Amino acid sequence: MATSSIVGMIFGLLLALKYIVLLAEARAFFVFGDSLVDSGNNNYLATTARADSPPYGIDYPTHRPTGRFSNGLNIPDLISQLIGSESVLPYLSPELSGQKLLNGANFASAGIGILNDTGVQFINIIRMYRQLEYFNEYQRRARALIGADQTTRLVKGALVLVTVGGNDFVNNYYLVPYSARSRQFRLPDYVKYLISEYRKLLITLYKQGARRVLVTGTGPMGCVPAELATRSTNGGCSAELQRAASLYNPQLAQMLKGLNMEIGKTVFISANTQQTHRDFISNPQAYGFTTSKIACCGQGPFNGLGLCTIASNLCPNRNLYAFWDPFHPSEKANRLIVEQIYSGTTKYMDPMNLSTIMTLDARA
Ligand SMILES: *[C@@H]1O[C@H](CO)[C@@H](O)[C@H](O)[C@H]1NC(C)=O
Ligand SMILES: *[C@@H]1O[C@H](CO)[C@@H](O)[C@H](O)[C@H]1NC(C)=O
């Protein structure tokens, strides 16, 4: 047989496989965490932590703000695309019912942290313990729709994403000089405390039925435009926040490993987002960015001061910027992060990447 016809056959087979995958019921997806993954819950709350006015959403399919802290799609949207389902709705959305409910839900809320006292200045936000309570409520609603057995199966078969922790530094420990937490703890002890509180939250999630949980670390917090604008001397990253990230991320990965050992299964998968960010911060041109220091939308040095609003400087081409606003990656950067989550080596994904998880779970 000619090589070209073999290639044609394989190609046809791949198309057929893709079709079967699309016909199969898509896997549910649940998201917990902060603004990096909030898809609009805060639109429904009385809080200042919101992204529901222009130019947020300028590159979203509707070109309108949605509550996502991005010019376009965010990390959960891009993961949904990879697992072959629609973006999951914010839990507070009135549209979340019927078939849409069975697709999963996004519980994330901008401004929150691992600790209850993180983000107090944002007033009304959905803290982690509350996001987990909503997950129970979600399951009650699903049981009413499809019964207990199917709900258990839906939750155990689901993919879960948890992104939280950055605000416990930026909007708590380092929010003001001599913050309550910084007077209470030295940085290394604060990190230990955060990890132990995070561990409790993840155990609750496991008890609620979660069986495949992607947990992202923090990015290089000292290098975001907001920190370059306020803490940096000579344009370098803030040493103190970089120290925090370098203490926190490895201990998070260790904690997840320990949980898996105790459970006896790979439930928690650690995504080394610090490494992904470090790649495009140290060599932005290699990823098609003209800068990883200046935010696309903002004002002041590095466009890193204040909020991104209609009155801010706005770059014409968002794909050239690693940061959309002073704290949040652009859609393009989110794509790079999700690419690593999907197919990264063990340097990025411990113990395995999402493509491997999907292969394993499809066999189970
Ligand atoms: C956070 O607040 C809730 C509700 O008050 C409480 O149940 C929970 O234990 C608190 N978590 C921590 C870590 O203090
Ligand atoms: C990650 O995904 C790619 C395929 O997309 C695979 O070749 C690679 O071996 C995976 N790495 C790990 C560590 O699972």
Decide: 359 in ligand 2 pocket, CB within 6 A. Answer: no
Whole-number Å distance, alpha carbon 69 to ligand 1 midpoint, is: 26
pLDDT digits (tens, 9 = 90+) for 87-110: 999 999 999 999 999 999 999 999
Pairing state of beta strands 29-33 and 104-106?
A: parallel
135 Cβ contact partners less than 8 Å away, ≥ 6 residues apart? 30, 32, 107, 205, 208
CA distance 159 to 348: 18
Q: Is the dihedral of CA 220, 223, 226, 232 positive or negative?
A: positive
Distance from Cα 28 to the centre of ligand 2, integer Å = 23
Q: Can you give the pLDDT at residue 8?
A: 54
Of 135, 223, 230, 138, nearest in space to 177 by CA: 230
CA of 356 from ligand 2 middle (Å) equals: 6
Closest CA to 80 of 162, 159, 164, 163: 159
Looking at the annotation, which residues are catalytic? 35, 325, 328
pLDDT of 11 over the 60 cut:
no
Closest residue by Cα to atom 1, ligand 1, is 116
- Judged by its nearest atom, the ligand closest to the C-alpha of residue 351 is 2
Ligand 1 pocket, mutate which of 114, 116, 190 (most atoms under 8 A from CB): 116
The pLDDT mean for the chain works out to 93
Q: Please write the tens of the pLDDT for every residue from 14-50.
A: 555 544 433 346 799 999 999 999 999 999 999 999 9
The phi, psi pair for 291, rounded to 5°, reads: -150, 145
Residue 261 C-alpha to ligand 2 middle, in angstroms? 22
Tokens of 355: 């493509």
Name 161's bridge partners.
31, 214
Is 82's C-beta closer than 6 angstroms to any atom of ligand 2?
Answer: no
Q: What gap in Å lies between CA 277 and CA 1, rounded to an integer?
A: 47
* Residue nearest to ligand 1 atom 13, measured at CA: 115
- Give the three-class secondary structure for 129: helix
Average of per-residue pLDDT across 262-280: 93
How many percent of the chain have pLDDT more than 90? 88
Is it the case that residue 13 has pLDDT exceeding 60?
Answer: no
Looking at the chain, the number of H-run helices and the number of E-run strands are 13, 8
Encode 222-236: b = buried (16+ Cβ within 10 Å), e = exposed: bbbbbbbbebbeeee
> 266 in ligand 2 pocket by Cβ < 6 Å?
no
Q: pTM here?
A: 0.92
Name residues contacting ligand 1 (CB within 6 A): 116, 129, 197
The rounded Å distance from CA 204 to ligand 1 centre is 13
Burial class (CB in 10 A: 0-12, 13-18, 19+), 317: exposed
Ligand sitting nearest the alpha carbon of 194:
1
Residue 10's φ and ψ, nearest 5 degrees, are -60, -40
Residues whose CB is less than 8 angstroms from the CB of residue 49 and which lie 6 or more positions away in sequence, other chains included: 35, 42, 109, 110, 111, 119, 122, 125
| Cα atoms in the Cβ-side hemisphere of radius 13 Å centred on 233 | 2
Residue 271 C-alpha to ligand 2 middle, in angstroms?
13
User: Which tokens hold the place of 105?
Assistant: 């839900």
Query: What residue ranges define each of the domains in the chain, with the CATH number in brackets?
Result: 26-223+238-272+334-363 (3.40.50)
360 alpha carbon, closest ligand: 2
Is the per-residue pLDDT at 134 higher than 80?
Answer: yes
Write out pLDDT tens, residues 335-348. Answer: 999 999 999 999 99
Instruction: Note the pLDDT tens digit of each residue in 177-195.
Output: 999 999 999 999 999 999 9
Please tell me the number of the ligand nearest to residue 128's CA.
1
Query: 269-302 as b/e, with b when 16 or more CB fall inside 10 Å?
Result: bbbbbbbbbbbbbeebeebebebbbbbbbbbbeb
pLDDT beyond 50 at 364:
yes
CB of 164 closer than 8 Å to CB of 172: no
Q: What is the model's pLDDT at position 278?
A: 85
Query: Mutation test of ligand 1: which of 115, 127, 129 has the most ligand atoms closer than 8 Å to its C-beta?
Result: 129
| CB of 352 shorter than 6 A to ligand 2 | yes
SS3 321: strand
User: And the tokens for 282?
Assistant: 């140290």
| Residue 59 reports pLDDT greater than 70 | yes
- For the Cβ of 355 lying below 6 angstroms from any atom of ligand 2, the answer is yes
